[in-house]
């Protein structure tokens, strides 16, 4: 028996919602887990992509692979040991890009394994198990649930989530520069402590953003999509980021621009589908830093992970 799960890309933070806002986007990874007949066979892990050369990233194909780590945790949760299996990872989400590639494969591995085992774990439990590996639930919760998701990991390891309908007319332009930025490096530049003033600034913006999304308030959303907790520190790792945000700020159909997760990718939220000017501004700005960029304007993925 085998199970395949398609999981969307995600963008976390959206400016002020550090480690708690996540948005699902229609680029996908597919995880297939197959039980092997011979229980003595070794675990097999294969990685494929039509979008990039997987050999450049040295992705582990042994038990150190994060998909296997997720599978192993789920087996531990139900009091069993992993059986012989083949794990195939088909990746269209670029790695180290800020679009949730690791969250997608973790979610896919957990959901596929859970289905093979007869669904002993509910969705909340799967998100909590995945968060134990990811370290924060924002990408993972959005990948599983789809849409715009608020999430918080509690002191007992559980994860609280709330899904809020995203305005259908608000589009996302995904901008992926041709360089990678590992999350570990992007997090290393963040301070361990921030000022009360900056914390209060972000608290106000996160509240504003939730209200703006619920009420489709474009003016409030433009004000809300600002941050003082992570983007100012990560700017030096993403050349041109400040310029792109500044150059797009006064465009009529742009509701906001933000680093996507830990970067280096960015997202631009727009009211209208005509985004040629936006793409040109992003491309021209990054070109001055000898950075090429691929852009794609999409609707938000409303449904999240799906068993195929």
For residue 264, say if its preceding peptide bond is cis, omega within 30 degrees of 0. Answer: yes
CA distances from 31 to 49, 99, 104, 304 (A): 12, 17, 9, 14
Range of lowest pLDDT (17-31, 139-153, 169-183, 294-308):
169-183
Q: Contact at 8 Å (CB) between 108 and 100?
A: no
The full DSSP string for 2-55 is: EEEEEEEEEEE-TTT-TTTEEEEEEEEEEEEEEE-SSTTSPPEEEEE-SSS-GG
Would you state the pLDDT for residue 38? Answer: 78
Distance between CA atoms of residues 1 and 37, nearest Å: 9
Known catalytic residues are 134, 183
Closest among 155, 157, 95 to 128, alpha carbons compared: 157
Domain 2-165+302-307 falls in which CATH fold? Ribosomal Protein S5; domain 2 (3.30.230)
- The answer to whether residue 273 scores a pLDDT higher than 70 is no
What CATH homologous superfamily does 171-298 map to? GHMP kinase, C-terminal domain (3.30.70.890)
CA distances from 131 to 73, 94, 158, 178, 288 (A): 11, 20, 9, 28, 38
Q: Contact at 8 Å (CB) between 105 and 6?
A: no
Closest among 88, 81, 79, 89 to 39, alpha carbons compared: 81
- Count CB neighbours of 156 within 10 A: 6
Would you state the pLDDT for residue 56? Answer: 78
What tens digit of pLDDT does each residue of 18-70 get?
Answer: 999 999 999 999 999 998 887 777 889 999 988 888 777 788 888 999 999 99
Half-sphere exposure for 13 (CA within 13 Å, toward CB): 24
Radius of gyration of the chain (CA): 19
Q: Where are the domains of the chain?
A: 2-165+302-307, 171-298
Distance between CA atoms of residues 142 and 230, nearest Å: 20
What is the rounded average pLDDT of the residues 210-224? 97
């Amino acid at each position: 028996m085998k199970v395949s799960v398609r999981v969307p890309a995600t963008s976390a933070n959206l400016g002020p919602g550090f480690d708690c806002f996540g948005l699902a986007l229609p680029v996908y990874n597919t995880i297939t887990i197959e039980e092997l007949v011979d229980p003595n066979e070794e675990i097999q892990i294969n990685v494929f992509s039509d979008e990039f050369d997987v050999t450049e990233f040295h992705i582990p194909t042994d038990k150190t692979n994060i998909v296997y780590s997720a599978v192993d945790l789920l087996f531990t949760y139900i009091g069993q040991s992993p059986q012989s299996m083949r794990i195939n990872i088909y990746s269209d989400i670029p790695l180290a890009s800020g679009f949730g590639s690791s969250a997608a494969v973790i979610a896919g591995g957990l959901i596929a394994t859970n289905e093979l085992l007869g669904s002993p774990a509910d969705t909340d439990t799967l998100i909590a198990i995945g968060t134990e590996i990811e370290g924060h639930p924002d990408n993972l919760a959005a990948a599983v649930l789809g849409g715009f998701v608020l999430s918080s990991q509690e002191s007992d390891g559980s994860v609280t989530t709330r899904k809020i309908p995203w305005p259908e007319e608000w589009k996302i332009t995904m901008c992926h520069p041709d360089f990678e930025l590992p999350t570990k490096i992007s997090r290393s530049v963040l301070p361990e402590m921030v000022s009360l003033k900056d914390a209060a600034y972000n608290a106000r913006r996160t509240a504003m953003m939730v209200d703006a999304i619920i009420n489709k308030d474009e003016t409030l959303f433009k004000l809300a999509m600002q941050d003082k907790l992570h983007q100012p520190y990560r700017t030096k790792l993403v050349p041109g980021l400040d310029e792109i945000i500044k150059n797009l700020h006064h465009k009529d159909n742009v509701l906001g621009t933000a680093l996507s997760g830990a970067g280096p990718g960015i997202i631009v939220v727009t009211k209208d589908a005509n985004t040629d000017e936006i793409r040109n501004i992003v491309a021209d700005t990054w070109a001055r830093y000898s950075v090429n960029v691929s852009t794609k304007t999409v609707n938000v993925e409303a449904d999240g992970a799906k068993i195929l």
